[in-house]
């Protein structure tokens, strides 16, 4: 099962994990990754903008690729949009597979590729000051690594 959600509501990781386990019949492993809003250098809030329609299609494409590449029994991508504060969940990915290696690798793949291949934009707020986040070179390299293999 593939589950892709873009939502302004907080991400319920317990519910998402329970769903991933329930829907992945025969899986021996469910791995997940949760990304939180970092509180570093004075950030008071984060705003996430996206491209409705294209975002969901891009995430679904990545989930399909992961399912095919690791023969997954399930893949979940949940991304929050709108305004959130440090400590809140911004993204959740999960992969269900027969064995742990595939589930763990697929999770890394989903989060690495999501950072370069899905149309989201972050704006950091520090009090009244706002700044659009620039792409990190490390993120580009992490994503490209999967395409080179």
Q: Which is nearer to other proteins, 23 or 88 (CB)?
A: 88
DSSP E strand stretches across 1-101: 2-7, 29-36, 45-50, 74-80, 82-84, 89-97
Is 64 a binding residue for other proteins by CB under 8 A? The answer is no
Tokens coding 56: 């969901």
Q: Does 88 bind other proteins (CB under 8 A)?
A: no
Q: Exactly one of 16, 32, 37, 50 binds other proteins (CB under 8 A); which one? A: 50
Tell me how far, at minimum, the Cβ of 121 lies from other proteins, in Å: 4
Burial 46-72 (b: 16+ CB within 10 A, else e): bbbebeeeebbebbeebbebbbeebeb
Q: Which of residues 18-37 bind other proteins (CB under 8 A)?
A: 35
Q: Site size for other proteins, by CB under 8 A?
A: 27
Our finding on whether 132 is near other proteins (CB under 8 A) is yes
- Nearer residue to other proteins within complex by CB, 98 or 146: 146
| 111 contacts other proteins (rule: CB under 8 A) | yes
Rounded to an integer, what distance in angstroms lies between the CA atom of residue 102 and that of residue 69?
Answer: 9
Kindly write down the DSSP assignment for every residue of 8-23, as one continuous string. SSPP-HHHHHHHHHHH
CB of 62 to other proteins, least distance (A): 11
Query: Closest Cα to residue 97, out of 24, 1, 41?
Result: 24
Nearer to other proteins, 30 or 48 (CB): 48
Bridge-based pairing of strands 2-7 and 74-80 is parallel
Contact set with other proteins (CB under 8 A): 35, 48-51, 53-54, 57, 79, 90-91, 111, 114-123, 132-135, 139
């Amino acid at each position: 099962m593939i589950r892709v959600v873009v939502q302004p509501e907080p991400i319920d990781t317990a519910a998402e994990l329970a769903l991933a386990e329930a829907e992945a019949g025969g899986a021996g492993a469910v791995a997940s990754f949760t990304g939180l809003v970092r509180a570093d250098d004075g950030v008071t809030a984060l705003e996430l903008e996206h491209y409705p329609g294209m975002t969901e299609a891009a995430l679904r494409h990545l989930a399909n690729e992961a399912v095919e590449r690791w023969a997954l029994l399930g893949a979940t991508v949940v991304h929050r949009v709108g305004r959130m504060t440090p400590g809140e969940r911004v993204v959740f990915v999960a992969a269900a597979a027969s064995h742990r290696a595939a589930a763990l690798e697929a999770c890394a793949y989903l989060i690495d590729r999501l950072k370069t291949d899905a149309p989201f934009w972050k704006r950091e707020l520090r009090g009244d000051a706002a700044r659009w986040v620039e792409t990190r070179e490390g993120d580009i390299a992490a994503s490209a690594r999967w395409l080179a293999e």
